[in-house]
Amino acid sequence: MKLEGRTALITGGGRGIGRATAVRLAREGANIAINFRGNAAAAQEAKRLVEGAGGKATLVQGDVSADGQAEEVVKAALSFGGGRLDILVNNAGITRDNLLLRMSAEEWDAVLDLNLRGTFLVTKAAMRPMMKQRGGRIVNVASIAGVVGNAGQANYAAAKAGIIGFTKTVAREMASRNITANAVAPGFVPTDLTDPLPQQVKDDLLGLAVRRDVALDKRRLPAGAFHQALGFLGRGGIASVVDGDVRAFSRQAHSGGASDTTTAAGDERRPAFELHAAPKLAGRPVSGGIPPSAIASPSA
């Protein structure tokens, strides 16, 4: 197996994209440290699924947006891996959607703290042991919102755009140490994070308002959409992509299709997100955002 004997830490690994990534890496032979902040039941289910996929797993509770806790999360993962941490997937994130005129400083800070600051703190804590072992793989979960923006998500889009810039910088700083850093930028993926959105908003984000004949299995977690991220890890953990590449996934990739495009650091080609409007995808760009009617008024 490609990742046999390797140890991976996945932040926010109890649900959604994090859980699906944990299961996929376990199938490739990796041992998984599943970080979660508060939902112990979901984390236990993720652990069960990882072990069912043939991998070893441990649960690591901690708030990665807090300095001391982020370091303890990495230390626990290192202990689980016998002193090694080969793979870090920064996935932990939240949303606090609101139109900018209604957005509170607390809503802004909450999203930036976990989504961006958490990525910074865990990456920083993981870099020294990766340098000591002379290698490591970092994959950051960004979002298409960080590339094109999204109305009602100024905080979320800013955090994800920050992750993209952060990823490119880490890649440049660590390339000589055999540590790679890359990002995936998913479009809309049905998870607990997106369940509260009104159905019309989900349809618009998926392009189903244009193509009602496109079927979507809402019961399916996005493991299929993110298996391409393993390309950043490479056979035997040797990656060929080291330049802070950002890989954007369309909804076609989520539903099992093979279409995805890549925009690399310094690449002047057409950005991947523009291809969401390509005829072969028969959908609209995710640019309409969340309409004001979908945003609840802030409480007094």
- According to the model, what pLDDT value does residue 292 have? 36
Q: Is residue 263 part of a domain?
A: yes
pTM of the model: 0.74
Q: Is residue 2 part of a domain?
A: no
Q: Is residue 300 part of a domain?
A: no
- According to the model, what pLDDT value does residue 118 have? 98
CATH number, domain containing residue 146: 3.40.50.720
Q: Is residue 1 part of a domain?
A: no
- According to the model, what pLDDT value does residue 267 have? 33
- According to the model, what pLDDT value does residue 244 have? 61
Residues with a known catalytic role: 156
- According to the model, what pLDDT value does residue 139 have? 95
Measured CA to CA, the distance from residue 164 to residue 265 in angstroms comes to 10
| Tally of structural domains, the chain | 1
Asked if residues 170 and 121 have their Cβ atoms less than 8 Å apart, the reply is no
Q: Tell me the angle at which helices 118-132 and 154-174 cross, rounded to the nearest 10 degrees.
A: 20
Q: 203 is in which domain, residue-wise?
A: 7-294
Measured CA to CA, the distance from residue 40 to residue 60 in angstroms comes to 10
- According to the model, what pLDDT value does residue 296 have? 37
- Tens digits of residue pLDDT in 200-232: 655 655 554 334 334 444 333 344 445 454 455
Determine how β-strand 57-61 pairs with β-strand 179-186.
unpaired
Which stretches in the chain have pLDDT values below 70?
188-300
Place of tokens 């004997």: 5
- According to the model, what pLDDT value does residue 148 have? 87
Q: Is residue 252 part of a domain?
A: yes
- Tens digits of residue pLDDT in 235-279: 433 334 445 666 665 443 333 332 233 333 333 333 222 222 222
Q: Is residue 282 part of a domain?
A: yes
